[in-house]
Amino acid sequence: MSTALKLSTTHTGRLSATTKVLVLICFMYGITYIDRVNVSTAASVFKQDLHLNNAQVGLVFSAFAYPYLFFQIIGGWVSDRFGARLTLTVSALIWATATLLTGFVGSLAAMLFARVMLGFGEGATFPTATRAMSDWTVEGKRGFAQGITHSSARLGNALTPPLVAWLIALVTWRGSFIILGIISLAWAAAWVWYFRDDPGEHPGITPAELEVLPRYALRKERKKDPVPWRRLARRMLPVTLVYFCYGWTLWLYLAWIPLFFLHSYNLDLKKSALFSGGVFFAGVVGDALGGIVSDYIYSKTRDLNKARRNLVVLGFLSSLAFMVPILFLHNLTWAAICLSMAFFFAEFTIGPMWAIPMDIAPRFSGSASGLMNTGSALAAIISPLIFGYIIDKTGNWELPFLGNIGLLFFGSIMAFWMKAGEGLAGGSFTAAKQPAG
């Protein structure tokens, strides 16, 4: 058993501090995704209540993404400068309040305001979580840490349709948002109470854990160093483009899959939610497995290009292959299977992708991951709007998948320019992986 795995528990059998921090971050990923995609399941209800058409619903879906895009880079820089504890606490308070307010909206404008506020709060979350994991994760487990946290996000995706459908039946669609907002506030309280930016300052950390973690003291001394934005942006540009292609797939699923089953196969809300949850659950497995396989390949080959880039190419091409039948088949069972497998392979790339900013620029991992995630955030703006427009004009719920197939192919080609094995200053990964960057 590896040292990292031994550290998952203490000699008393209790979970270690590093494991508890990872669990907290996993909960955050799941909660944030429930809060951002709950509108997809609730749309069939609030659409009628607020008298919206499909294009307006698409605008509600995409409104979240405008501030989400803008605060990726800013949030990453703030977390590098002021730490993950403060940044995530403030972010959580904002997104929790936005979720609560959604339960009280009475118009399209009010709904858009709440969704913009949600995007503002969640914009910094993933880059900040990457900042936290850079300090609290053993180098050889970066893929696993990113894979398991994003797996939790997909678990949130999988649980959202049946959970929100159940809450709507129990307390109406407005009550569902209020309950989810309260849960978000509870997470913020737990985070600020337990987490510390410096692992060495945590009362529950052990000497054995500190021995294998990055040297935070050296990183702390360099906190005021300016971020080399030009070099960092140039290195991250191919990664950002690849992640845009992934993000297009993700937001097509998050925004429209429940309505796809509802309208394309004439399912009621509960059955549509169950089928959607099954598709999203495939992503849970894909995220976790992709991170594990990525770290395993790196441990055997010590080649980050093989461990990160090659898995991204494999995942994109496999997802593309399973998406093609959706254009030609109109069978509920086969559609669910193909959509699930396509989502599994798309999510298989997440552990490797999110480990890349930590590999290339560990000192500036918050800023680097913020740059990367602007790709997905931009896709989140464009994808739902185009999907809604196409459906309103053609009535064809399968047609938008055609563009997605083309982007997956383009992303598989662009992946060869990511060069995960080279540090920010150039050269091999060995030169780039010094403690604290």
Report the alpha-carbon distance of residue 184 to residue 20 in Å, rounded.
18
Report whether pLDDT(363) > 90.
Answer: no
**Average pLDDT over all residues of the chain:** 84
**What sign for the dihedral angle of Cα 147, 80, 30, 39?**
negative
pLDDT attached to residue 20: 92
Q: Look at residue 436 in the predicted model and tell me its pLDDT.
A: 34
Give the CA distances from residue 35 to residues 172, 238, 272, 273, 316, in Å, rounded to whole numbers and listed in that order. 16, 30, 19, 16, 27
DSSP secondary structure string, 168-216? HHHHHHHHHHHHHHHHHHHHHHHHHHH--SSGGG-TT--HHHHHHS--H
* Share above pLDDT 70 across residues of the chain, in percent, rounded to a whole number: 91
pLDDT band at 242 (very low <50, low <70, confident <90, very high): very high
CATH topology of domain 15-428: Growth Hormone; Chain: A; (1.20.1250)
Q: Enter the tokens of residue 246.
A: 């992934």
Say what the pTM is.
0.76
Number of C-beta neighbours around residue 336 at 10 A: 18
Most confident residue range from 13-17, 81-85, 278-282: 81-85
Q: Could you report the per-residue pLDDT of 144-169, keeping only the tens digit for each?
A: 888 899 889 888 877 887 888 899 98
CB 72 within 8 A of CB 123: yes
> Where does the pLDDT of residue 343 fall: very low under 50, low under 70, confident under 90, or very high at 90 and above?
very high
pLDDT at 337 over 60: yes
Q: What is the torsion angle, in degrees rounded to the nearest 10, for the CA atoms of residue 287, residue 269, residue 48 and residue 397?
A: 60
User: Of 433, 408, 146, which Cα lies nearest the Cα of 294?
Assistant: 146
| pLDDT at 225 (0 to 100) | 67
DSSP letter, residue 415: G
Averaged pLDDT for residues 173-192? 95
How far apart, in whole angstroms, are the C-alpha atoms of residue 68 and residue 415?
Answer: 24
Q: What is the mean pLDDT of residues 241-255?
A: 88
Phi-psi region of 436 (alpha: psi -120 to 50; beta: other; left: phi over 0): left
Contact 316, 245 (CB under 8 A): yes
> What is residue 7's predicted lDDT score, i.e. its pLDDT?
43
Helix 84-102, helix 142-194: angle, nearest 10? 80
> Is residue 9 classed as helix, strand or coil in its secondary structure?
strand
Residue 167: helix, strand or coil by DSSP? helix
pLDDT of residue 228: 87
Cβ atoms 68, 380 nearer than 8 A: yes
